[in-house]
Amino acid sequence: MKRLEGRIAAVTGASQGIGLAIAREFAAQGAHLALCSVDDLADKAAQELAKEFGVKAFGMKTDVSRHEECELFIKRTLEDMEGLDILVNNAGVARDNLAVRLDEAQWDTVLDVNLKGAFFMSKAALKHMMRNRGGRIINMSSVVGQMGNGGQSNYSASKAGLIGLTKSLAREFASRNVLVNAIAPGFVETPMTACIKDDARQKALASIPLGRGARPEDIAKAALFLASDDSAYITGHVLAVNGGMYM
């Protein structure tokens, strides 16, 4: 028996990196997929995963920083898939700069996508999950939301905010059997981190006791655990998947 057989999972930021790895892992475990991304690639990913794993899937271009687009994505999920069991708020952007050089647009863009987007999606999904008396929400935080990082005050603030949002939603909706948890990855080899300069990359790797960056699949396995019945008594938790980078 597959661990997510027949369940409906919505994943944001699903066209590449961690989001795509999570979508693939969920599909391999029998979940039907609703995928979104800010570009047109989510639909391509959905078609490929549907063909490979024999599940139902669709992809939709969605800007998670816009409330109405989040509502539309969840509405289509409920109509096309006839339900929603799991929401993974993975969509994220970075606009790194020293705090004294960080402008308002860089701050707003990161907070709007990373934090506000997760709130908008959760709010839309929770309406259904409350009525259904069950569901899982997984928010993608970050090690820098726990420890901070120079040049990333906006990104760190957004990811720390996700931890607060996770714990608050977990308390609000536990009575309806909606479990809300977060994952805090460390340094992950993704398109987002591919542009990091080599000296910064080596410094980051040197701070990891396990001696390597994470693969997107490492994060996907953690998401599968939190989405499955194996985590039925866990809510409000932040699961660190960082190779020992922060303890």
Catalytically active residues are: 155
What's the predicted TM-score (pTM) here? 0.97
Report the sign of the C-alpha dihedral through residues 70, 71, 76, 82, in that order. Answer: positive
pLDDT for res 58:
98
Q: Is the pLDDT of residue 27 over 80?
A: yes
Whether residue 86 lies inside any domain: the answer is yes
Whether residue 36 lies inside any domain: the answer is yes
Q: Can you give the residue range of the structural domain that contains 170?
A: 8-238
pLDDT band at 83 (very low <50, low <70, confident <90, very high): very high
pLDDT tens-digit readout, 170-225? 999 999 999 999 999 999 988 777 777 788 788 888 999 999 999 999 999 999 99
Whether residue 179 lies inside any domain: the answer is yes
What is the number of structural domains in the chain? 1
Whether residue 247 lies inside any domain: the answer is no
Whether residue 128 lies inside any domain: the answer is yes
* Burial of residue 154 (number of CB atoms within 10 Å: 0-12, 13-18, 19+): buried
Cα–Cα distance, 2 to 27 (Å, whole number): 10
Residue 220, domain CATH: 3.40.50.720
pLDDT tens-digit readout, 139-164? 999 999 999 999 999 999 999 999 99
pLDDT for res 85:
98
Whether residue 244 lies inside any domain: the answer is no
Per-residue CA distances from 167 to 59, 146, 158, 235 (Å)? 29, 14, 15, 8
Whether residue 1 lies inside any domain: the answer is no
